[in-house]
């Protein structure tokens, strides 16, 4: 049995890390804001979005396993120059914004423990830079997997909050919609943070670097399932923790740090500490994964050598771009008076708005028999995937209409 299970355990990594990194500073802020603002009402949305995550991640990793190429490679080879520019530009805009948000999360979490952001952020940047530029892919993946264990802190925080489990079940299985811009904005932000475009970039590029093939893809599919369930559960417990404590008191929060501070006097010291610890670990994990995903994208698009296991001499553009993104993200996060609330939640609303561009590109690629052979989507799977893309697009359009209409009130 150990021999049968071992390949599945060895496959854990790309999708588990990608999905876990989605629960980063902006994601935690969005889940906390949803719980504090609407109680358990948006739990159903997280369950639905988790299904979306599986479908999108599975298509991305299958693309990598079948073609042996990253997303940007395939886009460059398949689409016209204008289409390629549009797709990659939207991804770059979204990714740079989130990189900044990760270092903001590190700064906020460190200050909860009494450490100045001007010490914590540079130290975190150096740690991530050394880890990626001086290690092999296997070593980097193991360190990132260890960091992902910090998410169990949120499960503890939720139980310490003593939620009404009957209300939790109702919020999970009885969908509830409100026709207001704030509700739709959070709904799209939930989608944007849970199915962040960079997650697909990282998962596909990592599958390629790990050398996954069609023959052993079933093990990678297991990785996608585990990653989806784990990240979805973490998101649910974050929302439960804030819904049980902050919503009844009418306390609204827009950042994860504010949620941690608000939890302590209501749910106890340990609940606040666990929430803050989760924020620090999550931000640190994403601060490594996100610049790496963006660097993969740019290197693939421009045809440069890439890979964590390569040296500076072998892949100078790859390593240099990664270094530049780390420096940029850390530097912006240290700007005094930066509007943290708007950056953290706004970035993920932007992610939700840009997500359809990537989804339609993935669907175009994964349904091309010249690229995928007999590994294209089946009819039912395709129906679900197209339904997800259309639904996300409709929600994005609804948010734009409601926002513009609000300007004339």
pLDDT of residue 190: 82
Phi then psi for residue 338, to 5 deg, are: -65, 130
pLDDT of residue 350: 67
- The superfamily CATH assigns to domain 14-407 is Amino acid/polyamine transporter I (1.20.1740.10)
pLDDT of residue 400: 66
Of 37, 72, 1, 27, give the one whose Cα is nearest residue 283.
Answer: 27
pLDDT of residue 165: 93
pLDDT tens, residue order, the chain (409 aa): 666 777 777 777 778 887 887 788 778 888 888 998 999 999 999 999 899 889 999 999 999 999 999 888 898 888 888 888 888 887 787 788 788 888 888 888 888 888 898 999 999 999 989 988 887 777 787 888 888 888 888 888 888 888 999 999 999 998 888 877 778 878 877 877 777 777 888 888 888 888 888 888 888 899 899 989 999 999 999 999 889 988 888 888 766 677 777 776 665 667 777 778 888 888 888 888 888 888 888 888 877 887 777 778 888 888 899 999 999 989 988 888 765 555 655 666 666 667 788 889 999 999 999 999 999 998 999 999 999 888 878 877 776 676 666 656 6
pLDDT of residue 406: 64
Sign of the CA dihedral with 168 first, then 172, 177, and 181 last: positive
> How far is 388 from 401, CA to CA, in rounded Å?
20
pLDDT of residue 352: 64
pLDDT of residue 399: 67
pLDDT of residue 126: 94
| pLDDT tens figures, 360-370 | 999 999 999 99
> How far is 172 from 184, CA to CA, in rounded Å?
18
Angle at 258 between CA 252 and CA 261, to 5 degrees: 110
> How far is 15 from 228, CA to CA, in rounded Å?
8
**3-class DSSP state for residue 188?**
helix
> How far is 343 from 351, CA to CA, in rounded Å?
12
CA atoms within 13 A on the CB side of 88: 25
């Amino acid at each position: 049995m150990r021999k049968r299970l071992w390949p599945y355990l060895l496959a854990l990594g790309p999708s588990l890390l990608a999905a876990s990194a989605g629960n980063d500073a902006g994601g935690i802020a969005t889940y906390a804001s949803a719980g504090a603002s609407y109680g358990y009402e948006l739990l159903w949305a997280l369950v639905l979005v988790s299904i979306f995550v599986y479908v999108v991640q599975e298509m991305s990793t299958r693309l990598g396993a079948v073609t042996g190429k990253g997303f940007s490679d395939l886009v460059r080879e398949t689409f016209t120059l204008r289409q390629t520019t549009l797709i990659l530009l939207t991804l770059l805009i979204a990714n740079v914004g989130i990189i900044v948000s990760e270092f903001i999360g590190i700064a906020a979490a460190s200050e909860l423990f009494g450490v100045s952001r001007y010490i914590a952020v540079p130290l975190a940047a150096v740690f991530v830079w050394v880890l990626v530029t001086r290690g092999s892919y296997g070593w980097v993946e193991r360190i990132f997997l260890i960091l992902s264990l910090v998410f169990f802190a949120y499960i503890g925080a939720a139980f310490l909050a003593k939620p009404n489990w009957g209300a939790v079940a109702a919020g999970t299985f009885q969908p509830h919609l409100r026709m207001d811009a704030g509700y739709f904005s959070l709904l799209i932000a939930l989608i944007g943070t849970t199915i962040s475009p960079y997650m697909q970039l990282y998962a596909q590029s990592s599958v390629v670097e790990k050398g996954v093939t069609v023959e052993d893809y079933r093990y990678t599919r297991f990785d996608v399932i585990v990653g989806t369930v784990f990240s979805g559960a973490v998101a649910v417990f974050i929302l439960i923790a804030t819904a049980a404590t902050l919503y009844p008191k009418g306390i609204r929060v827009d950042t994860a740090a504010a949620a941690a501070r608000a939890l302590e006097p209501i749910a106890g010291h340990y609940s606040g500490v666990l929430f803050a610890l989760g924020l620090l670990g999550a931000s640190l994990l994403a601060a490594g994964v996100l610049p790496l995903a963006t660097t993969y994208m740019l290197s693939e698009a421009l045809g440069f050598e890439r890979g964590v296991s390569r040296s500076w001499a072998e892949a100078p553009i790859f390593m240099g771009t990664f270094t530049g993104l780390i420096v940029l993200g850390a530097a912006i996060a240290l700007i005094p008076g930066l509007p943290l609330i708007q950056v953290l939640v706004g970035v993920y609303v932007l992610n939700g708005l840009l997500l359809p561009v990537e989804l339609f590109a993935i669907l175009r690629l994964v349904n091309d028999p010249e690229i995928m052979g007999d590994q294209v989507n089946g009819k039912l799977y395709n129906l679900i995937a197209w339904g997800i893309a259309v639904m996300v697009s409709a929600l994005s359009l609804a948010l734009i209409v409601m926002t513009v209409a609000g300007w004339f009130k």
